[in-house]
Amino acid sequence: METFLILASTLCISIGVFLGITGAVGIFRMPNFFTRLHAASVTDSGCASMLLFGLMLQSGFTVATVKLCFILFFLLISSPTAGHALSKTALSCGAQPTPLPREER
């Protein structure tokens, strides 16, 4: 059973690292603010969720697991809210999303 927990936590942490790297690449590769914000906020939630879940598996059922659950809960509430606030502020300041070229629609 311990081997399964180690493998599951390693898999979750590996997926979290992959999502984090994918988000970082997406931030540099996307053309405008809104697509960059989307890449950052989606991968932020997924990356943090997988990393924290992997850490929960490694720590077992202790006080640390409860603390990690609280961190995950607050992160999943605050991260999409911050992304929404940033996009609404950018729209109110006059930034407009650039439309896709005709062939990519």
Residue 65 belongs to domain spanning: 2-88
Looking at the domain assignment, is residue 30 inside a domain? Answer: yes
Please report the DSSP string for 46-59 in residue order.
Answer: HHHHHHHHHHHHHH
Looking at the domain assignment, is residue 93 inside a domain? Answer: no
What percentage of the chain exceeds 90 in pLDDT? Answer: 39
Looking at the domain assignment, is residue 9 inside a domain? Answer: yes
Looking at the domain assignment, is residue 97 inside a domain? Answer: no
Looking at the domain assignment, is residue 43 inside a domain? Answer: yes
Looking at the domain assignment, is residue 52 inside a domain? Answer: yes
pTM of the model: 0.80
Looking at the domain assignment, is residue 37 inside a domain? Answer: yes
Report the Cα–Cα distance between both ends of the chain, in Å, rounded. 49
- Provide the CA 43 distance to its chain's centre, in angstroms: 3
pLDDT tier for residue 11 given thresholds of 50, 70 and 90: very high
- Report which of residues 41 and 71 the model is more confident about: 71
Mean pLDDT of the chain, nearest integer: 87
Looking at the domain assignment, is residue 94 inside a domain? Answer: no
**For residue 41, what are its two tokens?**
């906020």
Query: Please, are residues 79 and 44 in contact by the beta-carbon 8 Å criterion?
Result: yes
Query: Please, are residues 42 and 76 in contact by the beta-carbon 8 Å criterion?
Result: no
Number of domains in the chain: 1
